């Protein structure tokens, strides 16, 4: 059986599988490129275009083009196109369907069983939304895996005999993660992770757009602001991305800005770009430093490699700054494709292990034969383990009986090893209380805090209390966070056995809505 790995990126996405010699290979799309722009264009309500054509159309028809969808994952937001409201999960599903459809054409067989990657710093809500996007696209989502883990798997396969401690610096189009990973005897252990899923190459592009608009207005003070025209703004965004890419290999790039019947030739140097975006890079260095501090608290002080992942790490200043700050020589590890390749390896290995565990030896052998694996390679895969950690802290809202003030009591903490299961008794506040509210919270800021404002509510429900009970009646709350970072919460009143089970359905997509969206998407023409 064929399985696939998908890097569902903020700005670009790609899909990979294992070839007949056991190596991960990216499957090109119908346009002949390895990566597909994560852009969706609605020609009509039932005709959708994904990829380069959609990106090109953004200049001509910006109102019907959606991009940077990944930044909305896990949020209760919609985009209205042609009078139809779409949730982030549904929009991401169009991208996933495009990748799977093109892969089927390229590989000659259905691409249905997939592993989808997410930023390491994605929380439970974003991971759940990604899983649902895959299901809406009609895919069987084997697992959700963090991007740095996928990159580390690729690295480990390319360096199979080395025990290493690596720092993965992942600066993608819209998200940033930094993760410490130990590779020991073929096993992968995440030591700690940190990041910002609203920081990425798109922010560098935005600074260039502002610079181009300012220079145009300086040359043509009587003209209207280019950023007030949606078509001009979209063109500037394309020009900005081109300029950023050009300046990875050149020291100067010129952009012709055309607006209001006027033209300005704006020169942008690599040095000027670095000045415009220094604070953005500073932010990644700050997060990296915080990660190293956490790793040191866990006993990790020395690193063998600094691995750069994500297209934005091609900017020369990134490697130079990291080498200066950390004293480690940075290695570009196939930055655009490493994550998809690692996801494909993970999909293959996890499926193989599951088949072995389930006693489906013939199917496992068929997979191994198809990939040309030796008996020793099969043994290594069967025994390989991947251990990861929680990206955020999770808890519930509690009330101080003396002051009535609310705060968050965290049961699972950031960088706790996964899977994690934590149970704790909480108690009613009033006599004769007939129910208890259970509000599940996720750490929102970079540091764990009991303050409600520093946490996001991701699920809520109430559990009934037997009548006549005095204040202080116990309710047992259990958090279970699986290895993929997906969360389930249960509350139990022990006398009557009343139970409340909460699944994280942020964004309002219930199971019924997922199925309806899946049916609706199947009727849409996606190309």
Rounded mean pLDDT of 152-174?
83
Per cent of the chain over pLDDT 70 is 98
Mean pLDDT confidence for 442-456: 89
Half-sphere exposure of 472 (CA within 13 A, CB side): 2
Higher pLDDT, 323 or 362: 323
Q: Which of 169, 182, 391 is nearest to 303 (CA)?
A: 182
pLDDT of residue 505: 52
Bridge partners (DSSP) of residue 62 are none
**Mean pLDDT (whole number) for 26-46:** 93
State the average pLDDT over residues 212-228. 94
Query: What gap in Å lies between CA 132 and CA 105, rounded to an integer?
Result: 24
pLDDT at 249 over 50: yes
Residue 308: is its pLDDT beyond 80? yes
Q: How confident is the model at residue 335 (pLDDT cuts 50, 70, 90)?
A: confident
More confident residue, 280 or 372: 280
Q: What angle do CA 471, 473, 475 make, to 5 degrees?
A: 135
Strands 435-443 and 455-464: antiparallel
Contact 190, 388 (CB under 8 A): yes
Positive or negative torsion for Cα 33, 34, 39, 40: positive
pLDDT of 168-207, one tens digit each? 999 999 999 999 999 888 788 999 999 998 899 999 999 9
CATH 2.60.34.10 intervals, the chain = 394-496
Q: Using the predicted structure, report yes or no on whether residue 329 has a pLDDT greater than 60.
A: yes
| Mean pLDDT within 344-358 | 88
Q: What is the pLDDT of residue 503?
A: 65
pLDDT at 507 over 50: no
Separation of alpha carbons 345 and 371, rounded Å: 11
Q: Which two tokens stand for residue 523?
A: 């009727």
Phi, psi of 201 (to 5 degrees): -55, -30
Q: Is 13 helix (H, G, I), strand (E, B) or coil?
A: strand
Q: Tell me which CATH code domain 201-276 carries.
A: 3.90.640.10
Over residues 108-112, the mean pLDDT reads 88
Residue 37's SS3 state is strand
Query: What local confidence, expressed as pLDDT, does residue 45 receive?
Result: 78
3-state secondary structure of 176: strand
pTM of the model: 0.89
Is CATH 3.30.420.40 the right assignment for the domain spanning 4-199+286-389? yes
How far separated are the first and last CA of the chain, in Å rounded? Answer: 25
Answer whether residue 419 shows pLDDT above 50: yes
Residue 324 has pLDDT above 90, yes or no: yes
Task: Give the span between the Cα atoms of 363 and 372, in whole angstroms.
Answer: 14
- Name which of 10-19, 296-305, 333-342, 503-512 the model is least confident about: 503-512
Mean pLDDT over each residue of the chain, to the nearest integer: 90
Question: Residue range 333-348: average pLDDT?
Answer: 91
Asked whether the predicted pLDDT for residue 506 surpasses 70, the reply is: no
pLDDT score of 80 more than 60? yes
What average pLDDT does range 440-460 have in this prediction? 89
**Predicted local distance difference test score (pLDDT) of residue 44:** 85
The reported pLDDT for the residue numbered 508 is: 56
Which residues in the chain are classed under CATH 3.30.420.40?
A: 4-199+286-389
Q: Is 508 exposed, middle or buried (0-12, 13-18, 19+ CB in 10 A)?
A: exposed
CA distance 510 to 94: 19
Instruction: Point out the least confidently predicted range of 9-23, 301-315, 348-362, 413-427.
Output: 348-362
* Range(s) within the chain of domains with CATH label 3.90.640.10: 201-276
**Cis before residue 83, ω within 30 degrees of 0?**
no
DSSP string, 300-316: ----SEEEEESGGGGSH
Confidence of residue 501 (pLDDT cuts 50, 70, 90): confident
**452 against 62, higher pLDDT:** 452
Comparing CA positions, the residue from 190, 194, 186, 197 lying closest to residue 70 is: 197
Confidence bin at 25 (pLDDT 50/70/90): very high
Q: How far apart are CA 244 and CA 68, in angstroms?
A: 17
- Stretch 97-109: mean pLDDT, rounded? 92
Does domain 394-496 match CATH 2.60.34.10? yes
Please state the rounded mean pLDDT for residues 404-409. 94
Segment 417-424 mean pLDDT? 93
Query: 253-294, pLDDT tens digit by residue?
Result: 999 999 999 999 999 999 999 999 999 999 999 999 999 999
Q: How far apart are CA 62 and CA 77, in angstroms?
A: 19
- pLDDT tens digits for 92-102? 999 999 999 99
Say if residue 157's pLDDT is above 80.
no
CB 103 within 8 A of CB 17: yes
Q: Residue 159 pLDDT more than 90? A: no
Cα distance between residue 106 and residue 87, in whole Å: 29
């Amino acid at each position: 059986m064929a399985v696939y790995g998908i890097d569902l990126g903020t700005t670009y996405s790609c899909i990979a599988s294992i070839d007949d010699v056991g190596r991960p290979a990216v499957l090109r799309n119908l346009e002949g490129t390895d990566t597909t722009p994560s852009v969706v264009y609605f020609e009509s309500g039932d005709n959708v275009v994904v990829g380069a054509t959609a990106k090109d159309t953004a200049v001509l028809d910006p109102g019907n083009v959606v991009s940077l969808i990944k930044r909305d994952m896990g949020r209760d937001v919609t985009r209205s196109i042609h009078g139809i409201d779409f949730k982030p999960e549904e929009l991401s599903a169009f991208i996933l369907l495009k990748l799977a459809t093109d892969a089927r054409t390229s590989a000659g067989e259905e691409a249905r069983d997939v592993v989808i990657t997410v930023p390491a710093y994605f929380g439970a809500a974003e991971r759940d939304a990604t899983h649902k996007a895959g299901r809406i696209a009609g895919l069987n989502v084997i697992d959700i895996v963090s991007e740095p883990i996928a990159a580390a798997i690729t690295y480990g396969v390319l360096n199979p005999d080395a025990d290493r401690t690596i720092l993965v610096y992942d600066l993608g189009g819209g998200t940033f993660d930094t993760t410490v990973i130990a590779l020991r005897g073929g096993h992968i252990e995440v030591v700690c992770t940190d990041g910002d899923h609203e920081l990425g190459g798109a922010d560098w592009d935005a600074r260039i757009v502002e610079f181009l608009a300012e220079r145009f207005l300086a040359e043509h003070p009587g003209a209207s602001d280019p950023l007030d025209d949606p078509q001009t703004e979209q063109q500037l965004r394309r020009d900005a991305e081109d300029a950023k890419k050009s300046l990875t290999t050149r020291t100067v790039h010129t952009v012709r800005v055309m607006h209001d019947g006027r033209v300005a030739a704006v020169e942008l140097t690599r040095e000027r770009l670095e000045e415009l975006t220094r604070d953005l890079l500073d932010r990644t260095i700050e997060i990296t430093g915080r990660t190293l501090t956490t790793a040191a608290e866990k006993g990790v002080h020395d690193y063998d490699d600094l691995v750069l992942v994500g297209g934005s790490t091609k900017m020369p200043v990134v490697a130079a700054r990291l080498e200066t700050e950390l004293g480690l020589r940075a290695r570009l590890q196939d930055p655009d494709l490493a994550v998809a390749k690692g996801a494909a390896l993970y999909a293959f290995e996890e499926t193989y292990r599951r088949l072995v565990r389930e006693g489906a030896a013939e199917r496992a052998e068929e997979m191994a034969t198809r990939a040309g694996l030796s008996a020793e390679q099969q043994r290594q895969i069967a025994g390989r383990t991947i251990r990861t950690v929680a990206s955020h802290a999770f808890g519930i809202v509690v009330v101080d009986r003396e002051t009535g003030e609310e705060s968050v009591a965290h049961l699972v903490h950031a960088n706790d090893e996964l899977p994690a299961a934590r149970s704790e008794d909480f108690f009613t506040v009033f006599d004769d209380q007939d129910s208890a509210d259970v509000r599940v919270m996720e750490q929102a800021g970079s540091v764990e805090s009991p303050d409600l404002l520093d946490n996001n509510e991701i699920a809520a429900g109430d559990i009934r209390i037997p009548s006549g009970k005095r204040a202080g009646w116990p309710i047992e709350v259990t958090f279970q966070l699986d290895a993929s970072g997906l969360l389930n919460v249960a509350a139990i009143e022990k006398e009557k056995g009343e139970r409340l089970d909460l699944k994280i359905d942020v964004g309002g997509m219930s199971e019924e809505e997922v199925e309806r969206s899946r049916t609706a998407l199947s009727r849409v023409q996606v190309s």
